[in-house]
Amino acid sequence: MAQARVLIVDDDWDLSESLADVVEMHGHEVVTAHNGLEAVDRYRERAFDVVFMDVRMPVMNGVDSFFEIRKVRPDAKVVMMTGFKEPIVNVALKYGSLGLIMKPFQMSDLLVWIDGVTKIAA
């Protein structure tokens, strides 16, 4: 599996750092952000192969962040994450989000997404 550049965005610091640790242990480069605006700033600094974006966050929610990231790079690959049934997620899915991961999920779910994205890029 090729190394991927991954951005994990979640306002739950423990969750985002735990996810980052697991993804890094599998050989990928990881950056974390803890709100939507921070995620957009990180994306402006550099492109990522895949973004895992929480929906409910302070400052800027994940769906708005998704659209801002798409302005930076229209082909950005963003997977939404949420623990709630939220109709707003359907807007992101309709306009190009790769998919949705419902919380709680297994760490292996993230790795499957990363593997799929790296195969597409290869």
Run of H or E including 52 = strand 50-54
**Whole-model pTM?**
0.93
Reported as a single tens digit per residue, the pLDDT across 38-68 is: 999 999 999 899 999 999 999 999 999 999 9
Instruction: Give the separation between CA 76 and CA 28, rounded to whole angstroms.
Output: 18
pLDDT bracket for residue 118 (50, 70, 90):
confident
Q: Which domains does the chain have, with CATH numbers?
A: 5-121 (3.40.50.2300)
pLDDT bracket for residue 120 (50, 70, 90):
low
Shortest CA distance to 70 belongs to which of 98, 89, 112?
Answer: 98
